[in-house]
Amino acid sequence: MSDVRPAAPRVASVAVTTPPYRHRQEGIAAVFAEAFLGADASVRRKFVGLAARSGIKYRHLSLPLGEYRKPRDLTAYNRTWVTTASQVGQQVLTRALQTAEVSPGEVGAIVTTTTTGASVPSFDAGLVQQVGLPRHVIRMPLFGLGCAGGAAGLARVHDYLRGHPDQVAVLVSVELCSLNFQCAGTSVDNLVATGLFGDGGARRAPRRRPGAAGRRTGADRHPQLPAPGHRTSDGHAPGDRGDSRSSWPRTSRTPRRNTCPARCPGCLADRAVEEVRQAERDARRAARRPVGGRNLDH
């Protein structure tokens, strides 16, 4: 059996888009602390202290800050999610296609992933019409995978490109975490999530590298992982920026490099899960630190 196969897909472009409402972290903490129903003063202090020590300066949210003071049920929040996800998804997909110099008509498959909202049909159906993708484009909506959604989406893109090596496939992820605010939940997990996560969307467009086939390498065996030396459309390696355009704010003072060895099968999903777990550990440690001489746990 020949050990020669087509070259691995390459990432033609990466783009990130956020909703227009940008709020400072201290303002967000004050509003959401007030919005927690039935919470006593100690819980509110714990949440404000946790948010203050997160290292986050601002976040993008789907609504003006004052709107989060108003009680809303799941139906109302999800209605906002449908509208905002459509807008964010269209913007990020259009921007990335333009950067990659790829026309919408060249896209053969679109994979979408989200955990924070739902619609029927899924929001990728609207993107097909809004962006002008082909009517016969293959749609693969993923839901409920949480932090592993990006890794699973890349795997599905890889599967498609193995069978269609001359085409373009896109991955669009939209997470609007603020629209899942649980005003009656005061568990540590809910306090951490409310104090850390923002809203936004990201898009990646892998495509097969042109040229002759080559010998199998670690990157070819796991082409869903970035190949060694991979750069984004603006010349940066993934995770190099250290800026605040990501929809998932950093929580450590030293930016983490989101790089991954090419011969590390499955580690992309593991890394995503570990990043969230580390953020939760950081937030819990922050909540235990004294504020004004008092421990937040008491």
Provide the annotated active-site residues.
Answer: 147
Amino acid occupying residue 267: C
Strand 168-176 relative to strand 107-114: parallel, antiparallel, unpaired? parallel
SS3 category, 265: coil
Nearest to 192 by CA among 202, 179, 182: 182
Amino acid occupying residue 144: G
- 136 alpha-carbon distance from chain centroid: 27
SS3 category, 9: strand
Question: Exposed (0-12), middle (13-18) or buried (19+): which is 185, by Cβ within 10 Å?
Answer: middle
Beta-strand (E) ranges in 96-213?
107-114, 138-143, 168-176, 199-208
Q: Which two tokens stand for residue 176?
A: 């609007």
The answer to whether 207 and 169 have CB atoms below 8 angstroms apart is yes
Three-class secondary structure assignment of 136-164: CCEEEEEECCHHHHHHHHHHHHHHHHHHC
